Amino acid sequence: MTLQNAKTVSNGLLIGAITTFGGDLSNSDQLRALTAAGWLLCDGSAYPTDTYPELYAAIGNAHGGDEYSFNVPDLIGRFLRGTLHKAKGTDPDAPKRVAAAPGGATGNHTGSLQKTATGLPASLWSLSITGAHSHTCGRLTANMHRAWSGSRHEMARGNQTIATEPAGAHYHTLTGFDNATLPINVALYFVIKCRTPQSPAGILPAGTITAFGGPLPRIPAGWLFCDGKPYAYTDYPALSDTILGNFGGDGLRIINVPDLRGYFLRGTSHLTNRDPDADTRHALHKGGNTGDNIGSVEYYATASPPGITTTVAGAHSHQVESVPVSSHSAAKGATGFIAYNCIAWIDDRGQTNTAGEHLHTITGGDQETRPENIYTDFLIAVEDIAGAAPPIGTIMPFGGDITDRDVQIKLQAAGWFPCDGSSLRRHTYRELFEVIGTHYGGAPLTFAIPDLRGYFVTGAGKLKVGTIQVISTTGSPANPIRTTTNGKHTHAIYRVPAERHAIDSEEGWELAAFNGEESATSEDGEHSHDVAGGDSESRPINVNVDYIIRYK
């Protein structure tokens, strides 16, 4: 991979191409230098259509605008996702995507915006078998008095504990979610190419992947659409030598280009343990890599946020038999074998026991777990292209395996390093150091390049460039996650009559008249449950790639 065998193209990297930049674009000098080189910050700014006519021709109003102006993508705090197009199964909410700015694309079109979502984890949440609580029940009696037998009125006698009927069906909503759903990520600035530089330089290696910010009426020469199609090895030998069978094929006669439609990109973990489920990743296409290797795929996952619990809800009532509802007078002072202990009337409420342990299962949630994202198309370079490299400090996805020594040698000869966190000498790589400084680490005489192994990339701006989120977060779903409406259980009710006897209705103690009808307990019983389960991290559906940074 040298300038001698690389193909020279007049336009280099496509106008409308989106890449990430490792420098600090909050620094006005760096931003001006990048703009002068033909790149704009992806911050959603609007420009007159005649200011950057080539860029407007490339992306149109996909990201917002009208006939007089257009918006560049707003990728601050957002992630890139491959436009679904005709693929199936990787973006279930594609038709619901909205415009990122007025006039922008919606639905299954490049430029559309999708908010965060939180789906149920593969390791389903479960609730503890708890929820103990109590109710009150009116018209219960507390004291007993003697009364004569053989009279006309039936009065409540005795005092025992009985159970409520087994009811109490109710549900809870899960609460305690984080502010947003975010995978582990590194913040880098997204930039978009707005014009051809006056002095093209550097080599863009075969296998480099770029996002494109607008609709693609046709695929430009030197690039292939990342739609997973197979090609003969001899059709694109430079690309084949780079990606081999990483994304499918046999790596000898047939190769598959990556299929990134509907997918997010994740840096291959390469034994860093940043992808806790790396060993379970599967092949994108038959013959492709699995496990902790470039080209492998994993589905979305949903971790439990630290504060997750159920709402303190679950209000419900029960029916109780044999509760007195009225009172009568009975003679005082009855003694002897013909006297009965009858319950004295107290027009008050009694308490059930604290019980009611029960279990719920979980329902609801969104169709997938994902961060906020913008649709783009992904393209892969089929050959080494001279004069096509973006500015020094640019970081791009790459379809080759950066742990392969032959790939490393070719990349370095072309002016690119793997984004593996390596430490470099400042005076040896001064041009790169002047761009990225020590944002990714360093020592008095050295500096580090970004380490994107295992990470997703989010747009810097709200976050300082180089900021790393090492623990994923799980935001509230648009469709609330609730428990099933079950939880039937019983309670014990104290001081409920058990027998009845007749007594005189003369002036005397106020005694409770027996009632065989059912009465309801109070509609309370609020309680909560502990939540267990959840996956090892929160992440969107993704394909492993490697990342490279231009240093010369």
Percent share of the chain, pLDDT over 70? 78
The mean pLDDT value for 124-131 works out to 74
| Residue 502: pLDDT band with limits 50, 70, 90 | low
**Is pLDDT of 285 > 80?**
yes
Tally of structural domains, the chain: 1
> Residues of 66-91 as b/e, b for ≥16 C-beta within 10 angstroms?
eeebbbbbbbbbbbbbbbbbebeebb
The mean pLDDT value for 491-514 works out to 66
Whole-number pLDDT of residue 154: 67
Tens digit of each residue's pLDDT (9 = 90 or more) over 238-284: 999 999 999 999 878 999 999 999 999 999 999 999 999 999 999 99
Distance CA 496, CA 552 (A): 88
Residue 392, domain member (yes or no): yes
Residue 483, domain member (yes or no): no
| Residue 9: pLDDT band with limits 50, 70, 90 | very low
Residue 222, domain member (yes or no): yes
The mean pLDDT value for 321-333 works out to 67
Whole-number pLDDT of residue 174: 83
CA distances from 141 to 144, 517, 519 (A): 8, 16, 14
The mean pLDDT value for 17-36 works out to 95
Bridge partners of 341, per DSSP, are 146
| Residue 362: pLDDT band with limits 50, 70, 90 | confident
Whole-number pLDDT of residue 66: 96
Helix (H, G, I), strand (E, B) or coil at 27: coil
Task: Please give the structure tokens belonging to residue 526.
Answer: 């609020």
Residue 548, domain member (yes or no): no
Lowest mean pLDDT among 52-61, 199-208, 398-407: 199-208
Residue 307, domain member (yes or no): no
202 touches 9 (CB < 8 A): no
Lowest mean pLDDT among 278-292, 362-376, 501-515: 501-515
Distance CA 281, CA 271 (A): 13
Whole-number pLDDT of residue 216: 85
Nearest Cα neighbor of 503 from 322, 328, 336 is 328
346 touches 140 (CB < 8 A): yes
Q: What is the CA radius of gyration of the chain?
A: 35
The mean pLDDT value for 166-187 works out to 85
- For the chain, give the number of residues: 552
| Domain around 465 | 17-118+182-230+259-272+369-473
CA 137 to chain centre: 45
Tens digit of each residue's pLDDT (9 = 90 or more) over 421-458: 999 999 999 999 999 999 999 999 999 999 999 999 99
Tens digit of each residue's pLDDT (9 = 90 or more) over 292-322: 999 999 999 999 888 888 776 766 777 776 6
Residue 99, domain member (yes or no): yes
DSSP 155: E
**Is pLDDT of 104 > 80?**
yes
Helix (H, G, I), strand (E, B) or coil at 373: strand
**Is pLDDT of 207 > 90?**
yes
Whole-number pLDDT of residue 388: 82
Q: What is the mean pLDDT of the chain?
A: 86
Distance CA 513, CA 153 (A): 8
| Residue 327: pLDDT band with limits 50, 70, 90 | low
**Is pLDDT of 151 > 70?**
no
Residue 75, domain member (yes or no): yes
| Residue 143: pLDDT band with limits 50, 70, 90 | low
Whole-number pLDDT of residue 518: 62
The mean pLDDT value for 399-427 works out to 96
The mean pLDDT value for 59-63 works out to 97
| Residue 328: pLDDT band with limits 50, 70, 90 | low
CA distances from 36 to 388, 435, 493 (A): 16, 15, 81
The mean pLDDT value for 380-405 works out to 94
**Could you tell me which residue, 321 or 372, shows the higher pLDDT?**
372
Percent share of the chain, pLDDT over 90? 60
460 touches 272 (CB < 8 A): no
Q: DSSP H helical segments within 328-427, as ranges?
A: 405-414
Tens digit of each residue's pLDDT (9 = 90 or more) over 455-486: 999 999 999 999 999 999 999 998 888 777 77
**Is pLDDT of 364 > 70?**
yes
Residue 35, domain member (yes or no): yes
Lowest mean pLDDT among 52-61, 72-81, 319-328, 433-442: 319-328
